[in-house]
Amino acid sequence: MAIHHSIPSMLQESLVEKLLVAKYCIEYRKDPKIWGSQGCLGYSALVELLSIVDTIGSFVIGGKVRKHFDILNNNQYFNLNLTSNDIDIIYKKFRCLCTHNSVLGLDCVLDISNVRGIVFEYQNGKPFLYLEPLYTEIKKAVFNFLGNAKSVVYQSKQLQKIINT
């Protein structure tokens, strides 16, 4: 960790760190003899990835935290073509519960990947969120955001909130 004298400089480091941690968590494979099941470090990966979505949304969109997640439909960063209800589910049942309570909604499924490479879908009425495609989309968005970080950050209302904290 370096000493930073600006928010854009700090974001250059912190967002890349979060990506690296998320990638490690997704690539890690649990030993069922130790963990009781297979998989990756999914909860930790999800917290890091959705934290990045929240960060980008806070500077680009602003407003209340739920509004930040509308960045998932912003054609400059994600363009996932989700419905407002889909974003609500990602925010409430995946992001909020995982971040604040270390669980997901009981009807939600978090998986490493799928053959179609999609981020979010419904199967048998249950919402599925896939970590590898989510990571891929977030990685693209991060590097796009970092390429414009100075102008985006300095024009955002979020910067004033940070400075006044």
Task: Please report whether residue 16 resides in a domain.
Answer: yes
Q: Taking 80 as the threshold, does the pLDDT of residue 121 lie above it? A: yes
Structural domain count, the chain: 1
pLDDT in tens, 23-41: 999 999 999 999 999 999 9
pTM: 0.94
Q: At 139, is the secondary structure helix, strand, or coil?
A: helix
Task: Please report whether residue 161 resides in a domain.
Answer: no
Q: Which residues contact 131 (CB under 8 A, 6 or more apart)?
A: 26, 40, 42, 45, 46, 49, 110, 111, 112, 113
Read off the pLDDT band of 141 (50, 70, 90). very high
Read off the pLDDT band of 162 (50, 70, 90). confident
- The arithmetic mean of pLDDT across residues 109-122, rounded, is 94
Q: What is the mean pLDDT of the chain?
A: 95
Task: Please report whether residue 165 resides in a domain.
Answer: no
**8 Å CB contact between 128 and 116:** no
pLDDT of residue 159: 85
Task: Please report whether residue 162 resides in a domain.
Answer: no
59 versus 114: the higher-pLDDT residue is 59
Task: Please report whether residue 51 resides in a domain.
Answer: yes
Q: Taking 80 as the threshold, does the pLDDT of residue 1 lie above it? A: no
The percent of residues above 90 in pLDDT, for the chain, comes to 88
Distance CA 87, CA 107 (A): 15
120 versus 3: the higher-pLDDT residue is 120
pLDDT in tens, 49-87: 999 999 999 999 999 999 999 999 999 999 899 999 999
Task: Give the domain range for residue 151.
Answer: 11-156
Token duo for residue 89: 């589910």
- The arithmetic mean of pLDDT across residues 140-160, rounded, is 93
Task: Please report whether residue 164 resides in a domain.
Answer: no
